[in-house]
Structures are given as C-alpha cells and as structure tokens.
C-alpha cells in the first residue's frame, strides 16, 4: 500500500509544489478572505437583527454560506490543478522519461492525482479553525461539520479524476483544462437545470397518489449542490422522494455513483497512459 501512495512521482510533485513561497502566500490570502467574509456576514446579520445578537438559525445560515463557498472553490480550482497533469508532461517531452521508470501506470496516475489536489486539501484543512467559530453561537453539530468536509474532499476527488482522465486522453493542456471545466460546469449547472425541469414535470403530470419519475432522481443524485443542501435541510431529500417515488437516500446514491465513476475514469487514465507502447512495457 505504501508503494502506491508514497511513490517517487508523488514525493517529487509534493516537494516542487510546497517548496515555493507562493503556495503559503496563497493559503494566507485564502484564510484572510474567508475570515473577512465570515466577519462581514456576521456584521450584516448583527446589524439587521432587532435583538442585536446571533440566533442559532443565523449561525447555521453562516455555516451554510461558508460550506457552499468552499464547494464553489473546489469546483473552480480543482480542474485547473488536475486538467494538465499528464498533458503538460507530454508537452514538455518528459512523459516518455517518466514512463521508462519502474513505476506502474497506476502509481503514476495516483501520484499525479494526489499531488495535484494536495494543495486544495491543505486549504480546506487550514480553514477548520475558522469554521470552528460557528460552534461559539450554536446551531451546527460536529457531525454536520465532518459531513461537509468529507463531502468537499469527495467532490475534489471526483473532479480531479475527470481532470486526470481528460489530461491523459487530450494532448493539449489548454483543451484538457477547458474540457475539465466544462465537465465540472455540467455536473453543477447542467444537472441542476435538468433536475429542476424533470422535477417540475413530475410534479405536474405524475399521479397525485403515486409518483414515478426515476429520471429526475438520477439527475438530482449527480448534483453536488443538491446533496450538500440535503446535509443541512433533510426536507430536500424528502421532497425528492415524494416527487420521484424513489426512497433510496440521495446522498448514498451520489456517493455510490461517483465512486463507480472515479474507478472508471482512473481505469481509463491508466489504460491510455501507455496507449502507444507495446503491451508488457
């Protein structure tokens, strides 16, 4: 197991990424921006409140704002970090040298993926103390905090696997990154629009006694925003169950489906990394 995750590719990429002072300056400015957003949000809620202090519901609203902001950060940065991990090596003409090493294709792909998202993981972990301020006002449980951070890491892995796959299949880095951003945009915006339309159709044309709209459920389960909203508002999942007639938890369907997609994208990446080489090399 150690050979897969602590390999020379991963070690080299981590050293190159974290030896630069710009990396830690980026973390500093991100934490400052997040802190300013939280302070501004608290100030607005406090000045608009007739009693002049926070309610648990307002603290919960602030946490939801930070959680969706973090999800947007993951969806915006991850394609840029992973969309060129293999194609950039090909453009620098260093991929052939990398493939002549004793590292397997799986080890190279996993090392590139983990090293690319490691910076974003560090950003999320570094923001934990800021999120802990929410507990001072109540309204949020530690379980919800853990669910939000696990969901952010899982979404990062999903988008990152798409980025590695496109970077392996497409020779040009710019084209690969644009394709990864397009896939991320469809996962967020496209599935949301499709889900909204199908749920409206199910609400209008389905039988009032028994709803049956599996297409609306399948489109909704791929949307990370809907699943994140379900963490805070269980009524979201209940409404989807009532409209589609499917009682299976949408968060479980989301994780299962994307775990399958992650396995498929990484398999495609591994198989196409040495596409032009003879078998056995």
Structure confidence by residue, pLDDT tens digits, 87-101: 888 888 878 777 787
Q: In this model, does residue 268 exceed pLDDT 90?
A: yes
9-23, 70-84, 190-204, 227-241: least confidently modelled range: 9-23
**Per-residue confidence (pLDDT) for residue 178, from 0 to 100:** 92
Nearest to 249 by CA among 229, 216, 227: 227
Query: Which of 39-53, 103-117, 182-196 is the most confident on average?
Result: 182-196
Q: How far is CA 212 from the centre of its chain?
A: 30
Is residue 281 in a domain?
no
Nearest to 230 by CA among 204, 269, 277, 195: 195
Q: In this model, does residue 186 exceed pLDDT 90?
A: yes
> Token match 């197991």: residue?
1
List pLDDT tens digits, range 19-45.
Answer: 777 777 878 888 888 888 888 877 777
Q: What are the C-alpha distances in Å from 47 to residues 40, 42, 134, 136?
A: 11, 9, 18, 19
Is residue 116 in a domain?
yes
Is residue 279 in a domain?
no
Residue 271 token pair: 């198989």
- Runs of H (alpha helix) within the chain: 2-5, 8-18, 21-48, 56-82, 87-91, 95-99, 105-126, 128-131, 142-169, 173-185, 191-205, 214-221, 224-232, 234-244, 250-273
Average pLDDT estimate for 234-258? 83
Nearest to 258 by CA among 224, 211, 216, 213: 224
Instruction: Please give the span between the terminal C-alpha atoms of the chain, in angstroms, as a whole number.
Output: 22
Q: In this model, does residue 1 exceed pLDDT 50?
A: no
**Per-residue confidence (pLDDT) for residue 141, from 0 to 100:** 76
Q: What angle do CA 122, 24, 19 make, to 5 degrees?
A: 95
**Per-residue confidence (pLDDT) for residue 205, from 0 to 100:** 67
**Residue range(s) defining the domain that contains residue 70:** 2-273
Burial track 209-244 (b if 16+ CB lie within 10 A, e otherwise): eebebeebbbbbbbbbbbbbbbbbeeebbeebbebb
**Per-residue confidence (pLDDT) for residue 262, from 0 to 100:** 94
Burial track 183-205 (b if 16+ CB lie within 10 A, e otherwise): bbeebbeebbebbeebbeebeee
Tell me the pLDDT of the chain averaged across its residues.
81
Phi-psi region of 47 (alpha: psi -120 to 50; beta: other; left: phi over 0): alpha
Q: Answer yes or no: are the C-beta atoms of 170 and 83 closer than 8 Å.
A: no
Query: Which of 40-54, 107-121, 126-140 is the most confident on average?
Result: 107-121
Average pLDDT estimate for 230-242? 79
Is residue 280 in a domain?
no
Q: Answer yes or no: are the C-beta atoms of 233 and 268 closer than 8 Å.
A: no
Phi-psi region of 245 (alpha: psi -120 to 50; beta: other; left: phi over 0): left
How many domains are there within the chain?
1
Q: In this model, does residue 164 exceed pLDDT 50?
A: yes
Is residue 202 in a domain?
yes
**Per-residue confidence (pLDDT) for residue 209, from 0 to 100:** 53
Is residue 38 in a domain?
yes
Average pLDDT estimate for 160-184? 91
Residue 238 token pair: 């209940």
Phi and psi torsions of 273, nearest 5° = -65, -40
Quick one: which H or E segment has residue 1? none
**Per-residue confidence (pLDDT) for residue 274, from 0 to 100:** 76
Is residue 226 in a domain?
yes
Average pLDDT estimate for 132-149? 77
Is residue 278 in a domain?
no
């Amino acid at each position: 197991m150690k050979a897969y995750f602590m390999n020379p590719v991963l070690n080299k990429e981590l050293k190159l990424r974290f030896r630069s002072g710009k990396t830690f300056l980026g973390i500093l400015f991100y934490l400052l921006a997040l802190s300013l957003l939280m302070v501004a949000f608290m100030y607005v809620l406090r000045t608009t409140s007739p009693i002049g202090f926070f309610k648990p519901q307002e603290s919960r609203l602030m946490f939801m704002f930070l959680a969706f902001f973090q999800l947007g950060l993951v969806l915006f940065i991850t394609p840029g970090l992973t969309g060129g991990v293999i194609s950039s090596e090909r453009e620098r003409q260093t991929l052939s040298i990398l493939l002549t090493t004793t590292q397997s294709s799986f080890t190279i792909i996993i090392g590139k993926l983990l090293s690319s998202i490691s910076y974003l993981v560090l950003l999320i972990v570094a923001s934990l103390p800021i999120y802990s301020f929410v507990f001072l006002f109540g309204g949020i449980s530690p379980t919800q905090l853990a669910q939000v951070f696990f969901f952010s890491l899982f979404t990062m892995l999903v988008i990152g696997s798409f980025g590695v796959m496109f970077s392996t299949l497409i020779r040009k880095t710019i084209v690969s990154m644009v394709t990864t951003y397009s896939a991320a945009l469809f996962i967020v915006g496209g599935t949301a629009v499709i889900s909204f339309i199908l749920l409206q159709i199910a609400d209008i044309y389905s039988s009032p006694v028994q709803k049956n709209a599996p297409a609306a459920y399948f489109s909704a389960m791929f949307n990370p925003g809907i699943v994140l909203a379900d963490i805070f508002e269980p009524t979201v999942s209940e409404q989807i169950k009532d409209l589609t007639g499917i009682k299976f938890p949408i968060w479980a369907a989301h994780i299962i489906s994307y775990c399958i997609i992650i396995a498929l994208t990484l398999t495609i990446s591994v198989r196409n990394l040495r596409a032009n080489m003879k078998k056995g090399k």
